[in-house]
Amino acid sequence: MTRKKVLDVVGLKTSFFTEEGEIPAVDHVDFHINEGEILGIVGESGCGKSVTSLSIMKLIPSPPGKITSGHIYFNGEDLARASEKRMREIRGNDIAMIFQEPMTSLNPLFTIGNQLTEAIRIHRKWDKKKAKGHVINMLRLVGLPRPEELFREYPHQLSGGMRQRVMIAMALLCDPKLLIADEPTTALDVTIQAQILQLMKELNEKLNTAIMLITHDLGVVAEVCDRVSVMYAGKVVEEADVQMIFKNPKHPYTKGLIQSVPDKRYKKDRLYSIPGNVPKPGSIKKGCRFAGRCDYVSDRCYQEDPLLYEVDEPGHRVRCFLYAEEGVGQNDGIVTTS
């Protein structure tokens, strides 16, 4: 059965305008998320993952940032052209976001109950009693003990894992169609990470909420995601379902990421690492952005920017000339036969 697209990002470009000129942080990115699906956005720090999520929410600080081209279709509505008034109606209601560090998202001067009931009263226009009952039920749903007491407590009285569960509860209060989670387990210890990820997966299954999970941890991706988009230097370089990504990665960058993960099945004298660093945004004017770190580089890679080639099976796309002869290339929404 074909599932409806909740989010369809087409040719998204977000730039920052500085004294050095226009610096593209996200450069013609394409991906989609279906109903009830968990899509993992993977890549090193500086690859454009968080800027992509902030662009979808239209929370890019302006100036210096700006969405310069592309479309962000949410249930058919193009958010890239939506007004700020319309975005305030959508944020927290239809699309919700969980940030990396909950202490920067929760106000230390207000109780947990005060902050959560405010969100639902703004969007649903409920009275205090009804809003409080819904908040307590949601705190219980995300696995927090004694929710009636937590309702009256302040963020500093909670542990890191509890604060993150509060943020998940806040994000889910209005039954959003899409939940964006920007590295939600980064600041947590391993045991709490596993609990939070299991919670997100259970809520995805119970509520059929589509989730966009941003992470650099491939273990997290393997555990919870249905499909994966790998980003590098502001572009999607590979996209496939999660099993295909791990069984048959195509792009040299994806292969390098997977090789760099410790595997207890194989004893290695030295763990693999991709040479070099992610290039500074805007520093590469032409050619493949991974060329300087790639083991398979050719002269063409320094001269031309490869298209996204669909290979093997529908939905598996890779931005690499190694597959130019066997695939169908797609660039900025225009499909061309190789």
Where are the domains positioned within the chain? 5-337
Alpha helices in 31-78 (DSSP H): 49-57
Residue 272 tokens read as 């693999």
Q: Which residues contact 256 (CB under 8 A, 6 or more apart)?
A: 272, 274, 293
Helices 160-172 and 190-207: crossing angle in degrees, nearest 10, is 10
| Secondary structure of residue 160 in the 3-state scheme | helix
pLDDT of residue 8: 95
Taking only Cα atoms into account, the Rg of the chain, rounded to an integer number of angstroms, comes to 21
Q: Which residues contact 337 (CB under 8 A, 6 or more apart)?
A: 328, 329
How much of the chain exceeds pLDDT 90, in percent?
Answer: 47
pLDDT of residue 334: 39
- Within 13 Å of residue 207, how many CA atoms lie on the same side as its CB? 23
| Secondary structure of residue 328 in the 3-state scheme | strand
Q: What is the pLDDT along the chain (338 residues), one digit of tens a residue?
A: 567 899 999 999 999 998 888 899 999 999 999 999 999 999 988 889 999 999 999 999 888 999 999 999 999 999 999 999 999 989 888 999 988 776 677 889 999 999 999 888 888 888 889 999 999 998 988 888 899 999 999 999 998 888 888 988 888 888 889 999 988 877 677 887 788 888 888 888 888 889 999 988 888 898 899 999 999 999 999 999 999 999 999 999 999 999 888 776 666 677 788 888 888 888 888 899 999 999 899 999 999 999 999 887 778 999 999 988 765 555 544 333 23
Query: CA 309 to CA 336: how far, in whole Å?
Result: 9
Instruction: Please tell me the total number of residues recorded for the chain in this structure.
Output: 338
Task: Annotate 202-233 with b (16+ C-beta within 10 A) or e (fewer).
Answer: ebbeeeebbbbbbbbbbebbbebbbbbbbbbb
- To which CATH superfamily is domain 5-337 assigned? P-loop containing nucleotide triphosphate hydrolases (3.40.50.300)
